[in-house]
Structure 1
Amino acid sequence: MPFRRPRNYIGAHPASIWHPATTDALPGLPATTYKTLAIALFAILLPVSTPQAWTINLQQDMGPRGLMRHCKYSDGRIHTVNATDLCPLTLQGSDSGMGRGKGFLKSDYPDGMTKVCVYDVLGGKNTLRLPATDICPLGADF
């Protein structure tokens, strides 16, 4: 004998059907509150995770040595430019890996009597300036 529903069976009550927009995600708070909290958390963490840039100021022009002029900056590092150029008063720095670590050669290009070697260091760029006749090392520590 097949199963038959009773004559007075109407079906499930519409209020008992689960729907994400009409029910609580957890007891006490509606689902829209959780969406709002997730968006607020994302907005707070977004600026923390983006790289920040700052200005590095010239502290001392150490003068030319050979084909390069050495310039000491407020980040404690010595940068080089062509001997015939002046040291830039400011440089732009970034916190991508704080500029420290092992760098891998990406490219190089001539700049006057010197060669600039561009390295990928933890997703950021660092450069070395060498005499034009030198070969850029495949890896460098920054």
Structure 2
Amino acid sequence: MASINGINWSRWKVFQFWGVSGPGLVILQLLLIGPLFGLMVALALWAAVELLQGLVGPLTFGLGAALAAGVVVALGGGLGVVLTLTAWGHWVVFVRIWLPLTGRLPWAVLAFLEDAHQRGVLRQAGAVYQFRHARLHDHLMRVA
């Protein structure tokens, strides 16, 4: 689970209270982290510009521009955190984008896994698909 600045987000009482997990937890993290991060950056930019005006003269960077920069940072920073620090983010980046783009996995991943399961190549143990035959797994690992 995502741990940012030593905070384990999955253990926050608010997440336990709402009973959120999986993709719902990622969306909740995005909705909390993004705006908070953007607001902090916007206020820091505005304060820095206000302090620098005394040293370098009048600057045309008001609170509106700081808030606009904060929105950009909130979207970029929030998506960056979600895509890099969560298991679901890694899954989206690699399984839904990178592997299909490189031709190593079909675009319809879940349909592919379900088809392989129905044909007896894979078995399902909970939410995990496993190769039914160890020799096939070993052969595919050597080819890759």
TM-score, normalised to structure 1's length? 0.26
- Higher relative contact order at CA 8 Å, sep ≥6: structure 1 or structure 2? 2
Please say which structure displays the higher CA radius of gyration: 1
Report which of the two has the higher share of strand. 1
TM-score, normalised to structure 2's length? 0.26
